[in-house]
Amino acid sequence: MIILKPRRQLPFPVMAECINPDVFQDKSLEEIEKLAVWEGNKQKNLADIFKVDEPKRKGENGMVIAIQGDVTTVRRIGTSMTSGEILIEGNVGMHLGEEMKGGKITVHGSAESWAGSMMKGGTIEIHGSAGDYLGAPYRGCSEGMHGGQITVHGNVGSEAGAYMKKGLLKFIVNSIVG
């Protein structure tokens, strides 16, 4: 398991496609810390943005990435992932799990727009709300989700599931009318 904690509040968007079990697999802690991310228009190392820790655990199967803290400005976490797991304790930014093919992402918080966009497989579970265009295609594309499952335990924005071909969107709203 790799644990990531933001070092500071992030005022600019951070493009972090490298936060992906497929990318982290078989890399040393030092190699993971040197992965490139973009904060605004500046390229930085992952370790400039996140404190990276690797607790020693026995019997762990597959790569697990745990993100602790608010990462609302961090975009593209889990892009094109095929296996492994990402656990996020806090809110997460745009394009979570875009073009995902496998694995699992769990968010204990809310997700910004475009979560699961053009997803092909795997599972995303959001224990909070999701922004606009959940599972939808990018502008100019005619096909959205092709597979996988997205579960949201809260509200969703507009255009959820637009142009879906396959897959499952599941919304669980815990409201009491009275």
Give the pLDDT of residue 60.
Answer: 58
Is residue 142 pLDDT above 90, yes or no? no
Of the pLDDT bands very low, low, confident and very high (cuts 50, 70, 90), residue 27 is very high
Give the pLDDT of residue 55.
Answer: 83
- Separation of alpha carbons 53 and 141, rounded Å: 39
Is residue 56 pLDDT above 80, yes or no? no
Three-class DSSP category at 69: coil
Averaged over 101-112, what is the pLDDT? 98
pTM: 0.93
Task: Identify each DSSP E strand in the chain by its residue range.
Answer: 2-6, 14-15, 36-39, 42-45, 50-53, 64-68, 74-75, 85-89, 104-107, 123-126, 146-152, 166-171
- Separation of alpha carbons 105 and 81, rounded Å: 10
Three-class DSSP category at 33: helix
